[in-house]
Amino acid sequence: MRWWSELWGRSKPATASVVDPVQQARLAALPALVQAADIDLMQQPLLVLDLETNGLDVRRDRVLSIGAVRIEGGRIPLGRTFERVLCVDTELRPDSQLIHGLTQADLAAGVAPAGAILDLLEYGADAVWLAYHAEFDRRMLARCTQEALGLALVHAPYDVAELAPMLCPEMAVPRAGLDHWIQALNLPMPARHHAVADAMVTAEIMLVLLQRARVAGMQTWRDLDMALAQWRRRQAQAGKAVFC
C-alpha cells in the first residue's frame, strides 16, 4: 500500500511548480507503507512527529514547522532529528507567536512545503509513525500535502495520547496533555512548543510505554493493536473520550 492516493482530476496542487520530475521520482522511490503487525515492538523503527501551526483550525490554519525524531532498537538517535520550517504565506498572530516562537522572517527563509513533506516521507519511510493527539497532526499534514503535492496521505499515526492512558491507567487524567505525562513519568521538562523538542519528549514517553507494553505481555505490534482496540471499546462503553 502506498503512502498516498491520487487526487488528480478532483484536486489540483496549490502551485504549478510542484510535482516536477524530480519530485515524482522521489515519490516513486518511496517504499510501501510499513506493515508492522508481526514485528517485535522494540525492533520496528518508529518516527515520532510534531507540527507547529498558526492555530487549531484544521481547515484554515497552516503548518509552520515539522519536527520528528526516530526510535531505533529502543533508543533515540540524537544525531538524526528532523526539522523543517515551511515557507508559507500566512500572517502570524501575536498569540500564536508566543507559543511557537516563529517569525515572518523564519517563514520567509523556510523550505517549500512540497520539499519538506518529501523530506519527511523519506526520513520516515521505514518507520511506524506516532504523534501526540495524532489526529490533529494527521489532518494538518494531509491538507498541507494535498495543497503542496495534490496527493492525499493515507497514513494514520498511532496516538500517544491513547497509548499512554491505556498502558499507564493509574496515571491517567481527563484531557491530559504532554506536560501531564512528562511530570507523571518523571521526565525532564524540555522547552515546549518547539516541533523537535515536542517530538523528542513524545519519543521519550513512547520509550516508557514500550516497556510497559512488554511488561503487559505485548510482544508485537499486532498485540498492541489488539489491546488498543479493546481499550477503545471499553472507553466507548464507559462513555469516555477515546483519548484522555
Other C-beta atoms closer than 10 Å to the C-beta of 80 total 11
**Is 94 part of a structural domain of the chain?**
yes
Residue 126 counted as domain residue? yes
**244 inside domain:** no
Pairing mode of beta strands 82-85, 63-71: antiparallel
Per the structure, the complete domain to which residue 24 belongs is given by 4-237
Q: Coil, helix or strand for 156?
A: coil
Give the domain CATH number at 119.
3.30.420.10
Q: Rounded to the nearest 5°, which phi and psi values hold at 222? A: -65, -40
174 part of a folded domain: yes
Q: Is the pLDDT of residue 78 over 90?
A: yes
Distance from C-alpha of 18 to C-alpha of 46, rounded to nearest angstrom: 28
Cell representation of residue 200: 523528542
* pLDDT value for 194: 86
CA gap 240, 29 in Å, rounded: 42
Say how many domains are in the chain: 1
Report whether pLDDT(16) > 50: no
pLDDT at 18: 56
Q: Give per-residue pLDDT as tens, 193-240.
A: 689 999 999 999 999 999 999 999 999 999 999 999 999 999 999 987
The amino acid occupying position 157 is P
Instruction: Give the containing element (helix H, strand E) for 164.
Output: helix 160-167
Residue 140: inside a domain:
yes
Could you tell me if residue 84 is inside a domain? yes
Count of other CB atoms within 10 angstroms of residue 18: 19
- C-alpha to C-alpha distance for 7 and 19, rounded to whole angstroms: 13
Grid cell listed for 25: 521520482
Q: Does residue 8 contact residue 151 with C-beta atoms inside 8 Å?
A: no
Average pLDDT of the segment spanning 150-176: 94
Cβ atoms of residues 67 and 192 within 8 Å: no
Percent of the chain with pLDDT strictly greater than 90: 73
Q: Where residue 97 falls among pLDDT bands split at 50, 70, 90?
A: confident
Do 209 and 224 meet the contact criterion of CB atoms below 8 Å apart? Answer: no
Q: Is residue 214 assigned to a domain?
A: yes
In a domain, 242, yes or no: no
Q: How confident is the model at residue 133 (pLDDT cuts 50, 70, 90)?
A: very high
Cα dist from 88 to 39, 42, 100, 194, whole Å = 38, 37, 15, 17
What are the b/e assignments for 39-62, b being 16+ CB within 10 Å? bebbebbbbbbbbbbbeeeeeebb
